[in-house]
Chains A and B, each alone.
Chain A
Amino acid sequence: MLFFSQLINGLQLGSIYALVALGYSMVYGIILLLNFAHGDIIMVGGYIALLAITAGLPTYIAVPLSIIGCILLACIIDKVAYSPLRKAPRISLLITAIGVSLLLQNLAQLIFSAKSQPFPSSVVIPKGSVNIGGFAISYTALVTLVVAVVSMLLLTWLVQKSKMGKAMRAVSEDMGAAQLMGISVNSTISFTFAVGSALAGIGAILYCCRYPQVSPTMGSLLGLKAFVAAVLGGIGSIPGAMLGGFAIGLCEVLVTSLGGSAWTDAVVFAILIVVLLIKPTGFMGKAMSEKV
């Protein structure tokens, strides 16, 4: 019983990490950028949802609004900050990403103050639980799992079967050859940011439903943990990011349920160190030689 509820708990948290990790992995797969501003996009998504709901908009408008906000923000960041650096060394891009992250956090503090604000999670997903085979599963957990799994299936279809998804794979493999096919590299990269951020937007709402508050720095720890999940799964790999997300979520809940709730963050980052030492390519990543 306890095991089962902890399992659901871990899968719920894990699916949020997985959604966020996908954004890291997809962007890394295509332009080799660790987009450290990704977590802060979640924070912005949280605030948009909060503002929309407190303004009295219904959930079915507030949630898409927040997701669209995340997509637009990511595309603007790409256009303004990253795309001028396409040919610059990767370290410049990385530092720019950190700069964008700090900018977003401080802008949010300026606008909303540093205090965290409660998120009306029960408006988005009603309180209560459903009984499945004698086990009670909260609506929040159920919705989170279903939404995450559906999003991942859609993403898999998009990447494997759609024309744009194939173009994404082509660009991530060989930008020059992709251009010779008539694929616009810049719009493909923007599209990748858009898809990753849509997933982040979904993750933001689900995260706020689980931990019902928003603050300017809420994205940084979530983002870092999702980054660990992406590395654990093999950065650049889409199924890897999903797997890594679930693994980190389950692991965190396991540590908490063993009474080590103060240790969860330490354990997650210890995993990062161990992965980097023992198997830097993660579960599903490919060993890559530096392109010259």
Chain B
Amino acid sequence: MLKVNDINVYYGSIHAIKGVSFEVEKGEIVTLIGANGAGKSTILNTVSGLLPAKSGTVSFMGKTINGIAAHKVVGMGLAQVPEGRRVFLNMTVQENLEMGAYTRKSAEIDDSIADVYERFPRLKERRKQVAGTLSGGEQQMLAMGRALMSKPELLMLDEPSMGLAPILVEQIFDIIKELNKAGTTILLVEQNAQMALSIADRGYVLETGKIVTSAKASDLLNDDSVKKAYLGG
């Protein structure tokens, strides 16, 4: 479904992503794990078109998408929940969801909003509140709901556990599993390697802009070097 082939990304003269290649097959949960600054978010932002790749290709469902503007990628079925949630704080919950469906016809939106409210009942209770008044967990749910509004084939999540209490992290990861069961392919970027690997099919380990290991998630969970570096021994 998603094929990233040998991409190189620069911030000015800093070579942030060095020849990274990976694949996500339909129906999978794939995770990119790595420490802060390894380049995880940079990769997602390159896939979604927010950042340009200097070389290499990104193809999605058979089409090359690098070089296509970010706002056009969404309509192709690829949605991103950005790092730090980045919901529109001054807009209401409902308006945030409407923005998520920006590329779709307005007649189709109501059903999708109902679906999101069913999955996240908390959001329904707060639909007229501005997003800035929500708690961190609720904002994460809103960010996910907002991304689902575009009816994505592939959902990319950037650090959904960031800044959340452990119980909320579990809840968010349960929802990710459910979404995957319902047919959405997931690309998950996480610092919380333990959680990410526990729900993923496959994982890639990223270090300073390079992929150093890739394997089945269950194997990575038992891999000594991964354990040492990312799973606290």
Chain A positions within 8 Å of B, measured between CB atoms, are 163, 166-167, 169-170, 173-174, 176-185
CB distance from B110 to the nearest CB of A (A): 14
Interface residues in B129-162 by Cβ distance below 8 A to A read 146-147, 150
Q: Which residues of A contact B95 (CB under 8 A)?
A: 166, 169
- B171 adjacent to chain A (CB < 8 Å): no
Interface centre among B89, B95, B99, B106 (most CB of A within 10 A): B99
Contact yes or no, B146 A181, CB < 8 A: yes
With most chain A CB atoms within 10 A of its CB, the pick from B88, B90, B98, B150 is B88
Chain B residues closer than 8 Å to A181, beta-carbon distance:
71, 74, 99-100, 102-103, 146, 150
A170 touching B91 by the CB < 8 A rule? yes
CB contact under 8 A between A182 and B88, given known A167-B102, A177-B82: no
Q: How far is the CA of A177 from the CA of B88 in the complex (A)?
A: 8
Q: Is there contact, CB below 8 Å, between B91 and A179?
A: no
Min CB gap A24→B, angstroms = 20
Q: How far is the CB of A182 from chain B (nearest CB, A)?
A: 4
Shortest Cβ distance from B87 into A: residue: A177
Report chain A residues within 8 Å CB of B86. 174, 176-177
Contacts of A166 on B, CB cut-off 8 Å? 91, 95, 98-99
Q: How far is the CB of A99 from chain B (nearest CB, A)?
A: 27
Chain A residues with CB below 8 A from B99, complex form: 166-167, 170, 178, 181, 183
A173, B74: Cβ atoms under 8 Å? no
Q: Which residues from 47 to 102 on chain B have a C-beta closer than 8 Å to any C-beta of chain A? A: 48-50, 69-72, 74-75, 79-80, 82, 86-91, 95, 98-100, 102
Contact-size category for B:
20 to 34
5 closest A-B pairs (Cβ-Cβ)? Answer: A182-B103, A182-B74, A179-B70, A177-B86, A182-B102
Output the least CB separation between A192 and chain B (Å): 16
Q: How far is the CA of A170 from the CA of B88 in the complex (A)?
A: 6
Selected contact of A179 from candidates B71, B100, B106, CB within 8 Å: B71
Q: How far is the CB of B117 from chain A (nearest CB, A)?
A: 18
Which positions in B face A, CB cutoff 8 Å?
A: 48-50, 69-72, 74-75, 79-80, 82, 86-91, 95, 98-100, 102-103, 106, 146-147, 150
- Give the distance to chain B from A175, nearest Cβ to Cβ, in Å: 10
B106 touches A180 (CB 8 A): no
Q: Which residues of chain B come closer than 8 Å to A178, judged between CB atoms?
A: 71, 99
Given the interface pairs A163-B106, A167-B102, A182-B102, the reply to whether A173 lies near B70 with Cβ below 8 Å is no
Assess the B88–A180 pair: CB atoms within 8 A. no
B residues in contact with A182, CB < 8 Å? 71-72, 74-75, 102-103, 150
A176 touches B146 (CB 8 A): no
Complex CA–CA separation, A151 to B216 (angstroms): 61
Q: Find chain B residues with CB under 8 A from A184 CB.
A: 69, 71
A180 touches B91 (CB 8 A): no
Query: Which residues of chain B are near A170, meaning CB under 8 Å?
Result: 88, 91, 99
Given the complex of chains A and B, what is the CA–CA distance between A180 and B95 in angstroms? 15
Chain A residue nearest in CB terms to B49: A179
Once the chains bind, are B69 and A180 in contact (CB under 8 Å)?
no
Closest A-chain residue to B51, C-beta based?
Answer: A176
Chain B residues with Cβ below 8 Å from A169 are 88, 90-91, 95
